[in-house]
């Protein structure tokens, strides 16, 4: 067991004039998750602490937060990697705080929705499956790992200064269908992100790639979209 | 507030989403979910979805049906298994047409792989039947269906938690939900309520289930006097990450992974000589515990190894990348180099709310309850019998989610609006007030931890009279303590402290239903293994258990199994 000192962002917009940090101390095994520590704090010390969680192993994408300055999933952060005087937990930046570590995800999802993240095909569906070569399918291998946790978008320095920027997560979803061989609106999809606040908003900070809990090469994917725009639209 | 929809669906996993899609545009539908839909636990399904497409080798739906029935240790209702197996190819093609990114064969068709209990020629050899997208099949299907519901403009109430069902004169009138964002208690007035709240693995300490899987829909149905079916059948998945319970997909063995004991032996050869590591989950979980009990765990400890080292880095990256990353993150192990320590983890509830083949909920007299439907893991068709086969649950969700939708469209013509009773939310408001008034007492956390421990100790893979009786006694004590529970958060925003207190009532009630049903069934069948009754007993026990809540102790009664094509015989692999 090791002892960890947590400093956790607290804010209830209904009662608090401003945000503040609250300190907690918990004991945990090195192989436990930061999420386990949060649960212990909530269950044993302070029931008023709010955060989201569900699957606990990096699949559902609920518990994105800032851990010592880096956006990540609390369920993928292990105690053994935080042998430091203090572990600071803050809500994902960029988004509006609803309470403590819970942020408003609606604008994030709306941004993706605008890019029509569903297959568009006018042709009548065949009786069986549409054919797709393993090579075409492989192009999607990385982007379909996205779990909508928003860590990338929250970490992107462009997002911090330009709220109109489409953002890395939405561009990952754009990639998902631009490079989908079964989709029939590739040019329209490219045009939709061919603007200064779209794919061209990315200036290669690589923060998204660095924080992605599913190891999606986000920046590379955005650059691939840019090259496709140059190739197909110019 | 009072919201009004023809249909209200509770739960935004695959069953709920698929049902919603079917009725969208025809009826006014609202979907409520305690989490954002893409956080639903369907997304944690890894290995695949079964369908006899025959893309890799010849296959037939009859073989799939047979495997489902035999996998369920003949407790499966065969009319349900027939629909499932027969409709599977259509259901998978439909998903493909919607855009699900399945892996592909060299000639561009949907790729398939082997999975536990799926065989060719009625049990002759393992067969490749599992359609998959690497090891995140559930997640990509969930994402696809979610964006499809968004496209169709289906109204979703994110982070609304079901807290009460409104049933008047055996007719469903709606439900009460708690909005997490602001603490408001809302009434949903509807002609139809669909329960799609998934499993409730959180009654056990070690589980692959998410925190949200606490079974409100099932419990509230039970509380309303509707019996639950086959609750004793709880599936423990053989390969949970040791100590954490995180799922390592059966596809790891489907792709060639091997279970080894402390002596390095491939022990499944002794338990299932034909299909070995691909035996159904109940058998593999028992085999693992048997090895451990006989001192052949790793270094004599309580786990065994899942060996994937011979699969090679490329195959792991292409087909099993999520579980490779789980092993790296949580254990610091690269599965290409070292074996993964595993032990069984509570995974799936075969039992639940009894329904007919069209998802209509059956009441205590076996007649349907007008307006009440259930689909997915929370329902009991009984499609999975005493043990579900891997890849049959994703299939169940989309096949029977759709049938639920079709049936609702038909039934809406006859279902009239029933007036809400006066102040249906009062019961909930009073409950919140009581909880918040109490300044000290028991905490949900401590009671839940005790419940999970007793269920793990006495009601997991192996059971017996003494242990189950102890579990029941423990649950009674915990239920007593629950009367004195208090919450520390009295604020209206994201008060999960309060909701966890509500959830605990469900967990306690469902745990009791599991234990009482397990005590009643004096035989071993599928996932229900009684040390004091080690054999299957078709003469006395080839029947479904029903448990009904009464003023006093729960009442147990039975109903027959539907047997059409396959007569029960010894279950060997």
CA distance linking residue B279 with residue B571, whole number of Å: 11
Does position B94 have pLDDT exceeding 90, yes or no? Answer: yes
- Mean pLDDT over residues B140-154, rounded? 97
pLDDT bucket at B366, cuts 50 / 70 / 90: confident
The C-alpha of B12 sits at a distance from chain A's nearest C-alpha, in angstroms, of: 13
Please tell me the predicted confidence (pLDDT) of residue A123: 87
- Mean pLDDT over residues B81-109, rounded? 98
Number of other residues whose CB lies within 10 A of the CB of residue B304? 29
Please tell me the predicted confidence (pLDDT) of residue B424: 97
Please tell me the predicted confidence (pLDDT) of residue A234: 93
The residue in chain A having the minimum alpha-carbon distance to the alpha carbon of residue B148 is: A118
Determine contact, residues B91/B397, Cβ cutoff 8 Å: no
Please tell me the predicted confidence (pLDDT) of residue B169: 87
- Three-point CA angle B226, B164, B435, nearest 5°: 125
Determine contact, residues B206/B289, Cβ cutoff 8 Å: no
Does position B293 have pLDDT exceeding 90, yes or no? Answer: yes
Provide the whole-model pTM.
Answer: 0.97
pLDDT bucket at A114, cuts 50 / 70 / 90: very high
Task: Report strand pairing: B2-10 vs A70-73.
Answer: unpaired
Closest CA to B32 of B143, B196, B213: B196
- Mean pLDDT over residues B491-498, rounded? 97
Q: Which residues of A touch B248 (CB under 8 A)?
A: none
CA dihedral of residues B164, B167, B168, B172 (deg, nearest 10): 130
Q: Report residue A189 as tokens.
A: 């999809």
- Mean pLDDT over residues A47-66, rounded? 97
pLDDT bucket at A223, cuts 50 / 70 / 90: very high
CA distance linking residue B451 with residue B449, whole number of Å: 5
| C-alpha atoms less than 13 angstroms from C-alpha of A124 in its C-beta half-sphere | 2
Is B113 an annotated catalytic residue? no
pLDDT in tens, B236-258: 999 999 999 999 999 999 999 99
pLDDT in tens, B220-238: 999 999 999 999 999 999 9
Q: Which residues of B touch A42 (CB under 8 A)?
A: 496-497
Q: Which residues of B touch A133 (CB under 8 A)?
A: 104, 108
Does position B523 have pLDDT exceeding 90, yes or no? Answer: yes
pLDDT in tens, B430-481: 999 999 999 999 999 999 999 999 999 999 999 999 999 999 999 999 999 9
- Is A43 in the B-facing interface, judged by CB distances under 8 Å? yes
Work out the mean pLDDT of chain B and round it to a whole number: 97
- Mean pLDDT over residues A152-165, rounded? 96
Please tell me the predicted confidence (pLDDT) of residue B202: 98
Q: Residue B29 region, left (φ>0) first, then alpha (ψ -120 to 50), else beta?
A: beta
Longest dimension (CA), chain B: 67
SS3 B393: helix
pLDDT bucket at B66, cuts 50 / 70 / 90: very high
- Three-point CA angle A101, A102, A106, nearest 5°: 145
Please tell me the predicted confidence (pLDDT) of residue A147: 98
Q: Report residue A24 as tokens.
A: 């907690």
Please tell me the predicted confidence (pLDDT) of residue B195: 98
Question: Given an 8 Å threshold on Cβ–Cβ distance, is B326 in contact with A131?
Answer: no
CA distance linking residue B390 with residue B249, whole number of Å: 9
Determine contact, residues B217/B176, Cβ cutoff 8 Å: no
User: How far from each other are the two terminal CA atoms of chain B, in whole angstroms?
Assistant: 56
The C-alpha of A201 sits at a distance from chain B's nearest C-alpha, in angstroms, of: 25
Closest CA to B83 of B411, B359, B408: B359
């Amino acid at each position: 067991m090791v002892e960890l000192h947590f400093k956790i962002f607290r804010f209830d917009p209904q009662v608090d004039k401003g945000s503040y940090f609250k300190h907690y101390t918990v004991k945990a095994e090195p192989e436990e998750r930061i999420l386990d520590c949060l649960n212990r704090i909530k269950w044993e010390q302070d029931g008023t602490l709010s955060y989201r969680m569900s699957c606990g192993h990096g699949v559902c994408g609920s518990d994105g937060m800032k851990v010592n300055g880096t956006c990540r999933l609390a369920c993928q952060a292990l105690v053994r990697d935080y042998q430091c005087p203090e572990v600071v937990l803050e809500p994902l930046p960029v988004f509006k705080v609803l309470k403590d570590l819970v942020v408003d995800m609606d604008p994030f999802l709306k941004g993706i929705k605008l890019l029509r993240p569903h297959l568009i095909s006018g042709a009548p569906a065949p009786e069986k499956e549409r054919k797709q070569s393993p090579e075409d399918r492989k192009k999607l291998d990385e982007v379909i790992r996205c779990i909508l946790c928003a860590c990338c978008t929250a970490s992107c320095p462009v997002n911090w200064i330009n709220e109109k920027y489409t953002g890395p997560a939405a561009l990952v979803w754009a990639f998902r269908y631009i490079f989908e061989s079964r989709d029939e609106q590739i040019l329209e999809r490219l045009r939709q992100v061919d603007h200064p606040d779209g794919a061209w908003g990315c200036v290669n900070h690589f923060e998204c790639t660095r924080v992605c809990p599913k190891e999606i090469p986000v920046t590379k994917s955005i650059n691939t979209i840019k090259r496709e725009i140059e190739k197909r639209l110019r | 507030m009072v919201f009004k929809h023809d249909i209200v669906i509770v739960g935004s996993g695959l069953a709920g989403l698929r049902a919603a899609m079917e009725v969208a545009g025809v009826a006014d539908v609202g979907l409520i979910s305690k989490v954002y839909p893409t956080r639903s636990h369907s997304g944690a399904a890894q290995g695949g979805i079964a369908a006899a497409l025959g893309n890799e080798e010849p296959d037939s739906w009859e073989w799939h049906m047979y495997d489902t029935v035999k996998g369920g240790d003949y407790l499966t209702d065969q009319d349900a298994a027939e629909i499932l197996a027969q409709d599977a190819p259509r259901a998978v093609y439909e998903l493909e047409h919607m855009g699900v990114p399945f892996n592909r064969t060299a000639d561009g068709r949907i790729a398939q792989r082997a999975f536990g209990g799926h065989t060719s020629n009625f049990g002759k050899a393992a067969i490749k039947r599992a359609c998959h997208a690497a090891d995140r099949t559930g997640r990509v299907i969930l994402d696809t269906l979610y964006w499809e519901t968004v496209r169709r403009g289906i109204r979703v109430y994110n982070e609304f938690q079901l807290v009460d069902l409104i049933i008047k004169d055996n007719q469903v009138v709606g439900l009460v939900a708690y909005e997490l964002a602001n603490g408001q208690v809302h009434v949903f007035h509807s002609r139809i309520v669909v329960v799609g709240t998934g499993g409730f693995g959180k009654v056990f300490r070690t589980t692959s289930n998410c925190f949200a899987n606490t079974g409100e829909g099932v419990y509230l149905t039970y509380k309303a006097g509707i019996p639950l079916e086959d609750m004793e059948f709880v599936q423990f998945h053989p390969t949970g990450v040791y100590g954490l319970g995180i799922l390592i997909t059966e596809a790891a063995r489907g792709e060639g992974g091997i279970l080894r004991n402390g002596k390095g032996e491939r022990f499944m050869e002794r338990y299932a000589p034909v299909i070995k590591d691909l035996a159904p989950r109940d058998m593999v979980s028992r085999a693992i515990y048997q090895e451990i009990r006989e001192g052949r765990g790793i270094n004599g400890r309580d786990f065994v190894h899942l060996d994937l080292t011979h699969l090679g880095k490329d195959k792991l990256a292409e087909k099993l990348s999520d579980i490779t990353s789980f092993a790296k993150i949580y254990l610091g192990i690269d599965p290409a180099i070292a074996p993964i320590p595993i032990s069984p983890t509570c995974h799936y509830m075969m039992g639940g709310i009894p329904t007919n083949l069209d998802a209509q909920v059956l009441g205590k007299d076996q007649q349907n309850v007008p307006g009440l439907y259930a689909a997915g893991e929370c329902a009991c068709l009984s499609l999975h019998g005493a043990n579900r086969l891997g890849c049959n649950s994703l299939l169940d969700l989309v096949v029977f989610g759709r049938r639920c939708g079709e049936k609702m469209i038909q039934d809406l013509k006859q279902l009239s609006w029933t007036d809400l009773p006066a102040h249906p939310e009062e019961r909930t408001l009073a409950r919140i007030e009581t909880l918040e008034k109490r300044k000290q007492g028991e905490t949900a956390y401590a009671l839940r931890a005790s419940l999970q421990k007793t269920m793990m100790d006495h009601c997991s893979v192996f059971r017996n009279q003494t242990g189950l009786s102890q579990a029941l006694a423990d649950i009674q004590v915990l239920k007593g303590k629950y009367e004195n529970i208090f919450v520390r958060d009295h604020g209206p925003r994201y008060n999960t402290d309060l909701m966890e207190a509500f959830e605990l009532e469900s967990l306690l009630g469902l745990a009791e239903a599991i234990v009482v049903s397990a005590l009643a069934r004096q035989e071993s069948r599928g996932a229900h293994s009684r040390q004091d009754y080690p054999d299957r007993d078709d003469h006395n026990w080839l029947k479904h258990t029903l448990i009904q809540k009464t003023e006093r102790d729960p009442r147990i009664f039975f109903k027959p199994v539907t047997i059409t094509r396959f007569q029960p015989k010894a279950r060997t692999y």
